[in-house]
C-alpha cells in the first residue's frame, strides 16, 4: 500500500509541475488511480464498489475474488449484460446481489426466482414483485 501511495504522490507532483510548466498534459489522476487500484485485491474491490464505468465493471466481474464480483453485482452502473453474466456466478452471494440490484432485467430475475439457493430465489422474488409493482403504477 505504501508503494501505491508513493507512486500516487509522485504522479501528482509530476502532473502539477507539468501543468505549471505548460508542457504536454499527462493522463488524468483518476486513470492513474484506477491503474494503481487494479493491482491489489482491495483496490479492485473498492473500484467495483464506486466505479461508474460500465466497461471497467465488466472487467471486474471476471475477478477471482468473490467480494469484488459482489460489489460489481451491487453497483447501479453495472450493465444489464454484466448482471446477466453474474446471475450465473457459481457463488450464491454474487447471485443474491444481482437479484437485489434494481437494474437487473426482469428476464434475469425470472431465472433467479428458480435458483437452487433459497436466499437467491427469495431476493429475486422480492425484486421481481417490486419491479412489477413499479411498472403497473405507471
**pLDDT at residue number 60:** 95
Give, for 133, the enclosing helix (H) or strand (E): helix 118-136
CA gap 83, 65 in Å, rounded: 17
pLDDT in tens, 1-49: 444 444 444 555 455 555 555 544 434 435 545 666 677 778 888 999 9
Would you call 40 exposed, middle or buried from its count of C-beta atoms within 10 A (0-12, 13-18, 19+)?
middle
**pLDDT at residue number 43:** 85
Window from 1-5, 32-36, 107-111, 114-118 with minimum mean pLDDT: 1-5
Classified as helix, coil or strand, 79 is coil
Place of cell 452471494: 93
DSSP string, 31-60: HHHHHHHTTSHHHHHHHHHH---HHHHHHH
**pLDDT at residue number 133:** 83
**pLDDT at residue number 71:** 97
Domain ranges of the chain: 1-37, 45-136
CB-based contact 87:98 (threshold 8 Å): yes
pLDDT in tens, 50-96: 999 999 999 999 999 999 999 999 999 999 999 999 999 999 999 99
Amino acid at each position: 500500500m505504501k508503494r501505491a501511495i508513493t507512486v500516487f504522490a509522485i504522479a501528482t507532483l509530476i502532473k502539477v509541475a507539468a501543468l505549471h510548466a505548460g508542457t504536454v498534459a499527462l493522463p488524468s489522476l483518476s486513470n492513474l488511480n484506477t491503474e494503481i487500484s487494479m493491482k491489489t485485491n482491495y483496490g479492485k474491490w473498492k473500484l467495483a464498489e464506486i466505479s461508474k464505468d460500465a466497461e471497467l465493471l465488466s472487467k471486474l466481474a471476471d475477478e477471482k475474488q468473490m467480494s469484488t464480483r459482489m460489489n460489481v453485482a451491487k453497483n447501479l452502473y453495472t450493465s444489464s449484460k454484466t448482471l446477466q453474466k453474474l446471475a450465473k456466478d457459481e457463488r450464491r452471494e454474487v447471485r443474491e446481489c444481482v437479484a437485489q440490484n434494481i437494474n437487473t432485467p426482469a428476464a434475469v430475475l425470472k431465472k433467479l426466482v428458480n435458483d437452487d439457493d433459497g436466499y437467491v430465489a427469495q431476493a429475486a422474488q422480492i425484486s421481481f414483485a417490486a419491479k412489477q409493482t413499479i411498472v403497473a403504477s405507471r
